[in-house]
Each structure stands twice: as structure tokens, then as C-alpha cells.
Amino acid sequence: MSFGTIHVAGNFDDEVASESLERAMRNKEKQRVVDILVHICNSQRQMIRTPYKVRYGKDLEDELKKTLNGELEEVIVALVQTPTKLDVLELHRAVKGLGTNEKVLIEILVSRTNEEMEAIRNCYFTTYGKSLEDAVSSDTSGDFRRLLLILIQGRKDETERTVIFRAQEDAQHMVKSLEKKSGIDKFDAFKVLGTSNAHHVRHVSSEFERLTGTPLEKAIEKEYSGDMRNLLQALLLVSHGKPRFFANQIHLATKGLGTRDKDLIRVLVGRSEIDLAQIVELYHVFYKKSLYELIKEECKGGYRDALMTIIKGNRIH
């Protein structure tokens, strides 16, 4: 069952849609372009590409880039990617050139399923002729790199099982690893957050707090710094549900001065057919503000309207 806001549109015809898009782009009707693409689902957007190419001899994505600009272009170009290709483009952008966007690496790698990670790895290699592991490995270091590479393998336990005594053992292992001269490798103790299912991670977290009197999140904050701290805290938050995690990602993208538009776009487009309806609800619960109102305040023009339409969704009520 989907908890997204965008669903398969009824009465869809790829030939008609491609003609309507060409007419709208030729007439510089940006809002019409947005309306056509936001009100259909991703698979239907992919269906437009071939008839558009056959009829007009042009690539749809290239023409959209010529017609649109700024953040609105970012939204629409993101919408016409497959979910896998969007992740691949974002991951590549995070590691190419000078500097690394660790926040993007963390967001994508902690939140994708094993099946999604396999598709991402394959698509990344096909697109760039280089493995995702090599790309990330050359741009990161230390325990942060080690845990990212584990996540890239996509071998996380995705069952809903947890064995209480194993959770207790894992929590005890964590506690002992924090003791001086214990001889227990801290990375080996904490990597369980990246390999176990959400139920197990929550049990480990509860047991850790029972043993120490300190919430695991606080212990991570004290024992780690920088990217590794952010990665472990993200894994812990994901264990409480991906919608909760992404509500927090939106909060981080919009708090303080300025808006991290690329981060906002990635979350809203990427989760639009998965769990955006739940994210909208949880954002209101945790931040006491409507996500719809937040976008009205943080964004403007056609860009704002496109995001608000994604949040509102295409289902006829």
C-alpha cells in the first residue's frame, strides 16, 4: 500500500501528453508544463519519453531544461528521472569535484531498501563506468567510509524479527566498547545500527538506555563527532520509521537562514509516491507547523507552486 501523495493518473494517454508538453514548451507555458508532469506518476512520465522522441526528434529532458530555469527546473528534471536514476544523480553530485556532500550520502544510503540499493549500484556503474563503492571510498575515510560501504552492499536485515537476548548482547557490546581498555572495537559494536532491522535497533537502543541510564542518541553525540555521529544518529532515527526521518530532513533543509532547495526537492520528489502523505502528517506533529504552510513561506513563484502541488497530490478527493 502506498502512502504517497502522487498516484497513477486515470485517463492517461502518452501520445496526448507528449503533444501537450510540446505545445506548452513551444508557447513558453511553464505552468502548463508543471501541471502535466506533476499530475501523473513516475511510470507515466517515463512513458512520455519515447513518443516524444519519435514524434519530435528531441529528448524530453533536454527540452525541459531549455524551457525552465532555477529551482523550478530542478523540480521538473527530478520528476522525470526514475527513482533509481534520481538517487544515482544525487549520489554522483555528492562526490564529484572538490569536496563531498556527506549529508546527501547519509540521507540516501541509510534510507534505501536492499532492492533499491542493488538497482542504484547497477545504475551507477552503467552511468559512470565506476562502482558506487569506489566513488564513495575515494571521497570518504575512516569508520565513516567503512559504515557507508556496508550500507552500499544492501545486505541489511529487513525482517521484522528481533531476538531479545541478541539485542541485549548487542547493547552490552556497545556499553563495553565505550569503556577504556576494554579491548572491544567501537566500530564493530556500533555497526549493528547499519546491519540490523528497525525492530532490533529499537530494542538495542532501549536496552542500552536501561544498562547505562543514558539514551543511545546522547551516547553517540558524546562519543562521536562529525560525519560518523551524523550517520549513526540518522540510522537510529530511521529505525523509528522513514517518514519520521524524512520529516526531520525537511526540517533541517529549511531551518535557519536560507533554504537548502536541492535537499528539499530531493525529499519531496523522491518520497512523493512512497510515504510523503505520512511525512506531511509527522512534520506537523513534530514541528507544529503545516508542511504546506512551510513551503508557502520558504519558496516562491512556480517553484513554490510545484512543490505545493506535489504535497497536495493528484488524487481527486
In a domain, 6, yes or no: no
Residues 93 and 147 placed together within one structural domain of the fold: yes
In a domain, 317, yes or no: no
Residues 247 and 275 placed together within one structural domain of the fold: yes
In a domain, 3, yes or no: no
Domain with 27, as residue range(s), is 14-79
Cell numbers 549520489: residue: 91
In a domain, 109, yes or no: yes
In a domain, 43, yes or no: yes
Residues 218 and 199 placed together within one structural domain of the fold: yes
Cα(112)–Cα(259) distance, rounded to whole angstroms? 24
- For residue 291 the three cell numbers come to 508542511
Tally of domains within the chain: 4
User: What is the predicted pLDDT for the residue at 183?
Assistant: 85
In a domain, 48, yes or no: yes
Rg (CA), the chain: 21
User: What is the predicted pLDDT for the residue at 197?
Assistant: 97
Q: What is the CATH number of the domain that holds 23?
A: 1.10.220.10
In a domain, 2, yes or no: no
- 37 HSE (CA, 13 A, CB side): 31
Residues 188 and 141 placed together within one structural domain of the fold: no
Q: Which of 101, 130, 152 is the last residue of a domain?
A: 152
Residues 96 and 115 placed together within one structural domain of the fold: yes
Coil, strand, or helix at residue 172?
Answer: helix
Q: Which of 29, 63, 79 is the last residue of a domain?
A: 79
Cell numbers 562529525: residue: 226
pLDDT tens per residue, range 147-159: 999 999 999 999 9
Residues 201 and 234 placed together within one structural domain of the fold: yes
Residues 220 and 276 placed together within one structural domain of the fold: no
Q: Which of 101, 121, 152 is the last residue of a domain?
A: 152
Reading the chain (317 residues) residue by residue, the pLDDT tens digits are 679 999 999 999 999 999 999 999 999 999 999 999 999 999 999 999 999 999 999 999 999 999 999 999 999 999 999 999 999 999 999 999 888 999 999 999 999 999 999 999 999 999 999 999 999 999 999 999 999 999 999 999 999 998 899 999 999 999 999 998 788 899 999 999 999 999 999 999 999 999 999 999 999 999 999 999 999 999 999 999 999 999 999 999 999 888 999 999 999 999 999 999 999 999 999 999 999 999 999 999 999 999 999 999 987 65
In a domain, 222, yes or no: yes
pLDDT tens per residue, range 33-75: 999 999 999 999 999 999 999 999 999 999 999 999 999 999 9
Cell numbers 520528489: residue: 269
Residues 254 and 211 placed together within one structural domain of the fold: no
CA 196 to chain centre: 19
Residues 74 and 88 placed together within one structural domain of the fold: no
**Residues ≥6 apart with Cβ < 8 Å to 316:** none
Residues 74 and 135 placed together within one structural domain of the fold: no
User: What is the predicted pLDDT for the residue at 1?
Assistant: 66
**Residue closest to 75 by CA, chosen among 242, 301, 294:** 301
- For residue 118 the three cell numbers come to 542493488
